[in-house]
Amino acid sequence: MSKPMNSTPAIEIKGLKKTYRKTRKSPEKEALKGIDLIVPRGSIFGLLGPNGAGKSTLINILAGLVVKSEGEASICGYDLARQTRQARASIGVVPQEIAMDVYFTPFQALEIQAGYYGVPKSERRSEELLAALGLSDKRDAYVRQLSGGMKRRLLIAKALVHTPPVLILDEPTAGVDIELRRQLWKYVEELHSRGTTIILTTHYLEEAEALCDRIAIIHNGEIAANEDKSTLLSRLDQRTLCITPTEPVKDIPKGLKTLDVSLSEKGDLLIHYRTGKDSISGMLNQVKAAGLSIADLRTEEPDLEDVFMALTYDAD
């Protein structure tokens, strides 16, 4: 069978459903309710959602760990049900949980993983991956001797042994320090520059906002949004006009009571407004009419966290 063309999406999902059967301890659970999703090839794609939204179920279906109830899913054009081997060879998954055999060395762990994927010894990249992820000096140490951050880097290396065109990172920086987080993102950006499609789940929304070019938000088993980052951020037509008076303000002047205004701890005025409804010049005139002299001002736009909360506000 011929290899799909590069214009084929990295991931294409149609009507994907998953219902977990009722057990003694839990009722029937509909985790995915007919997901439609396309991940463009070559993108850094954010898959966000609150706990229990269905992210892990979706990832586990793509990884072949969970069987779907209905629908279709393909990876780089390979149908997950009919072309299972090709589909799984096209994806690498870095799980959130750190689980690996602690009695192997990092080098052995990579060699074994490469063997699982049928990578010939002459084409294996174990040394290269260890070097790229800063683990060369731990090549022959036992995995049990590695720190949590090193184990997480080893998980990324294991996911890359077969050079997959698609890499899923499930909460890759959970519990790691700032320096390691920067190192991981630097390497991820290098992978992306070489053409690897990156799918990222994270609870650090500032990471998704900084790295991703497209973001989908899943909530209660359904896609609540799936747009370019800039389009998604523009969903909220709310801004904040931050005014620093010449003299700090302790109370909101009566002349500003008609505005949606609050005070910061420093005594700045924070006026919340909508671009399609309110005039900045009109608000500034009200401030001046209230007897305040302006030393500085700026506007703040909503960030990804604001959009996320607006779309998932009823989440636990």
pLDDT in tens, 256-288: 888 888 888 888 888 888 776 778 888 888 888
Q: Could you report the per-residue pLDDT of 112-154, keeping only the tens digit for each?
A: 999 999 999 999 999 999 998 889 999 999 999 998 888 988 9
- Look at residue 111 in the predicted model and tell me its pLDDT: 96
**Residue ranges covered by each domain of the chain:** 11-229, 238-311
- Look at residue 2 in the predicted model and tell me its pLDDT: 45
The pTM score is 0.77
Per the DSSP assignment, residues forming a β-bridge with 170 are: 201
- Look at residue 300 in the predicted model and tell me its pLDDT: 80
Instruction: Please state the rounded mean pLDDT for residues 27-36.
Output: 93
Q: What are the tokens at 258?
A: 């008609």
* Cα separations in angstroms, 119 against 7, 126, 135, 155: 26, 11, 21, 18
Helices 106-116 and 148-159, packing angle to 10 deg: 30
- Bridge pairing between strands 294-300 and 70-75: unpaired
- Is 238-311 a CATH 3.30.70.100 domain? yes
Any idea which of 82-96, 193-207, 297-311 has the lowest mean pLDDT? 297-311
- Look at residue 315 in the predicted model and tell me its pLDDT: 43
DSSP states of the chain as a string?
A: -PPPPTTS-SEEEEEEEEEEPP-SSS--EEEEEEEEEEE-TT-EEEEE--TTSSHHHHHHHHTTSS--SEEEEEETTEETTTSHHHHHHTEEEE-SS----TTS-HHHHHHHHHHHTT--GGG--HHHHHHHTT-GGGTTS-GGGS-HHHHHHHHHHHHTTT--SEEEEESTTTT--HHHHHHHHHHHHHHHHTT-EEEEE-S-HHHHHHH-SEEEEEETTEEEEEEEHHHHHTT--EEEEEEEESS--SS--GGGTTSEEEE-TTS-EEEEEETTT--HHHHHHHHHHTTPPEEEEEEE---HHHHHHHHSTT--
C-beta of residue 229 within 8 angstroms of C-beta of residue 308: no
Mean pLDDT of all residues belonging to the chain? 88
- Exposed/middle/buried for residue 44 (C-beta within 10 Å: 0-12, 13-18, 19+): buried
- Top pLDDT among 83 and 309 is at 83
Q: Could you report the per-residue pLDDT of 52-71, keeping only the tens digit for each?
A: 889 999 999 999 999 999 99
- Look at residue 50 in the predicted model and tell me its pLDDT: 87
Q: Cα separation of 9 and 36, whole Å?
A: 13
Q: Cα separation of 120 and 162, whole Å?
A: 10
* CATH architecture of the domain covering 11-229: 3-Layer(aba) Sandwich (3.40)
